[in-house]
Amino acid sequence: MYNYFMRSKNITASIEDYLETIYEQLEKTHKIKAVDIAKKMNISRASVTEALQKLAQKEYLIYEKNHPIELTEKGVEIAKEVMHKHRILCDFFVKIVKIDNDEAEINACRIEHVITQNAFDKISELVKNKI
């Protein structure tokens, strides 16, 4: 399993955001195009194309002209881990800290990339015991 906190320094918050965005869309519609990612992440199509090429080189996804974008097993694993952390952090902010969903989402998106394993485990335990 992908160890989020002992990850390679090559996996940045940006990479995680791309993989998470792609995975979420693929779960909903089973297909995604670069233009969809650009709209969802509010960035230029050129930036997305460049990022997708780099992600393909790192073997997180398969990106070829005129073919659908596909996540590799490694890409799926990272995306799922980031999404898991995001959900737990959102639950923590909404159910324990008592802030609204929008603010919880903003904070979860920021924190999911930098939180230590120990802190995450403690938050996860709090959320599990609260539910």
Which residues fall within 8 angstroms of residue 65, CB to CB, at 6 or more apart?
A: none
CA distance 118 to 131: 20
Residue 9 in this model has a pLDDT that exceeds 70: no
Is residue 61 a contact partner of residue 69, using CB atoms and an 8 Å limit?
A: yes
Greater model confidence, 122 or 2 = 122
Fold of 79-130: Diphtheria Toxin Repressor; domain 2 (1.10.60)
What is the 3-state secondary structure of 70-118? EECHHHHHHHHHHHHHHHHHHHHHHHHCCCCHHHHHHHHHHHCCCCCHH
Residue 112 in this model has a pLDDT that exceeds 90: yes
**Mean pLDDT score of the chain:** 90
pLDDT digits (tens, 9 = 90+) for 64-102: 888 889 999 999 999 999 999 999 999 999 999 999 999
**Could you confirm whether domain 10-76 is CATH 3.30.70.1230?**
no
Under the banding of pLDDT at 50, 70 and 90, the label for residue 11 is: confident
pLDDT digits (tens, 9 = 90+) for 21-71: 999 999 999 999 999 999 999 999 999 999 999 999 999 999 988 888 999
pLDDT at residue number 5: 46
pLDDT at residue number 131: 64
Residue 6 in this model has a pLDDT that exceeds 60: no
Spans of all domains in the chain: 10-76, 79-130
